[in-house]
A and B are shown apart, each in its own frame.
Chain A
Amino acid sequence: MCVPVAHPQSIEQLTALLRDEPKTVLLAGGTDLMVALNHGSQRIGPDELVVSLKEVPELSIIEVDHVQRLLRIGAGVNWDELLGAPVDTLAPCLTQAARTVGSHQIRTAGTIGGNIATASPAGDGVCALVALGAVAVLTSPEGQRRVAVEDVATGPKRSVLANDEFIESIEMPIVDGWQGYSKIGTRNAMVISVAGVAVVLSADSNSCRIALGSVGPTVMLADNASTFAGDSIDWTNKEISADSLERISELVRQVASPIDDHRSTATYRSHSVGVLARRLIERGLQEMRNSI
């Protein structure tokens, strides 16, 4: 019988397929790929082999390394699996991002690896991962490399992934402190974000990371705003001045380079990320004060 779609059963088999097959298309949850195929913006050529990632057990791991204080999530883990333990307590902003994605049907199909590989600036999971300082582990027949999640996408639908390379897992530090994700959309469910912000406040290193979604060609780390926030927060008392908050909003707006499209205007997007970043930091510090 013919094999219409390859179903490798291990990382080893997957890597071998990518080495031996000249042209492959990786299929995870299909929630991006199938939309593109249905609408004809992407096609599967007669010489292309579809490789399903669903039966590769290593891609669905969720591991906690307590010694290195690291959370490792397989690329094939779906949104629904990010909602519960242990991710909800160890990387709560990723859980919050997952909760905003699509519907039950989409959350049980779509994967975190697919979210990164799709390279959309609106990727909710990507935004949370960038704030967490997560690293994507990329595997190919040539070996493995680690790339910061913010460096995987190089533009809308473009990434550093080579043709024979796949995302195996994502590693992120377990951060002591506070983290949150906020998203603005045109309604309360089933929306691609108009603007998204993830903030991680680290009490381990008295530092802050602010990631922005939907305001540029890729999800981005707001470097200057993050550094300024880290420096201006009074970490002992978990407080920040109103002026500093305003300055953070301004720095966030400055790095944003959004576009006008059918979902929103550039002006509204820039304004939104400024407000969301400020609110998240305020909320985070307040919750940290309450738990002292």
Chain B
Amino acid sequence: MTNIHDERHFELTVNGERRQVVDGYPGESLLTVLRDRLGLTGAKGACEEGECGSCSVLLDGNLVCSCLVLAASATQSSVVTIEGLGGSTDVQTAFVECGAIQCGFCTPGLIMAATNLLERSTEPQTDEIREALAGNLCRCTGYGRIVEAVQTVVVQRSQGAS
């Protein structure tokens, strides 16, 4: 019998595809579902309490910590993970070229956060960039090159590249 309280079987739209989630557990986060059930390990998990941002994905275009999204509540939403960006957006390329990546653990979350910021704001100033990325912690870089990477994209886009 199908129990209406059954959170274990549902469908999600991830990177444009309908994906089946089977045998989820009640209360399971989107992060766990993406990584452990759907094999999308781009979003990272560290704190699972919204502090580090390494799990950031886009949910209907909004930047969210996937560890704070109840997976079963997102059946009507569109999820985009780092895998969904492909590998060579201008933001991704700028991160590589500016040396904004060291160990890389924070990078998928930061790329999603930077991508989202540049959709909300076309010419963010340094303070705005820092504030927008404040929810994404990086233990390696000291943030300077990450900010530089975002600024590089701002300049490139203002010059007509995209």
Q: Which residues of A contact B (CB under 8 A)?
A: 1-5, 7, 27, 29-31, 33-35, 37-39, 42-50, 52, 54, 102-106, 108-109, 189-190
Contact for A104 among B67, B76, B113, CB less than 8 A: B113
Q: A30-B69, A46-B5, A189-B134 are in contact. List 8 more A-B contacts (CB 8 A).
A: A4-B72, A37-B27, A37-B29, A50-B26, A104-B113, A105-B50, A105-B135, A106-B65
Q: Which residues of A sit under 8 angstroms from B68, Cβ to Cβ?
A: 29-31, 34-35, 105, 109
A179 and B136 alpha carbons, distance in the complex (Å):
31
Question: Count the A-B residue pairs with Cβ separation under 8 angstroms: how many?
Answer: 111
Closest chain B residue to A6 by CB distance? B4
Q: Identify whether the interface residues of B are mostly helix, strand, loop, or mixed.
A: loop
Q: Does B48 contact A (CB under 8 A)?
A: yes
Q: When the two chains form their complex, are residues A2 and B73 in contact, meaning their CB atoms are under 8 A apart?
A: no
Q: When the two chains form their complex, are residues B50 and A106 in contact, meaning their CB atoms are under 8 A apart?
A: yes
B21, chain A: closest CB distance, angstroms: 9
| Given known contacts A4-B10, A45-B26, A38 and B73 CB-to-CB distance under 8 angstroms | no
Q: Identify whether the interface residues of A are mostly helix, strand, loop, or mixed.
A: loop
Q: When the two chains form their complex, are residues A104 and B132 in contact, meaning their CB atoms are under 8 A apart?
A: yes
A48 and B3 alpha carbons, distance in the complex (Å):
11
| Given known contacts A2-B9, A30-B70, A31-B68, A106 and B49 CB-to-CB distance under 8 angstroms | no
Q: When the two chains form their complex, are residues B69 and A34 in contact, meaning their CB atoms are under 8 A apart?
A: yes
Q: When the two chains form their complex, are residues A44 and B27 in contact, meaning their CB atoms are under 8 A apart?
A: yes
A46 and B56 alpha carbons, distance in the complex (Å):
29
Q: Can you show 5 pairs from A to B with CB atoms below 8 A apart? A: A27-B70, A33-B70, A38-B48, A47-B5, A50-B70
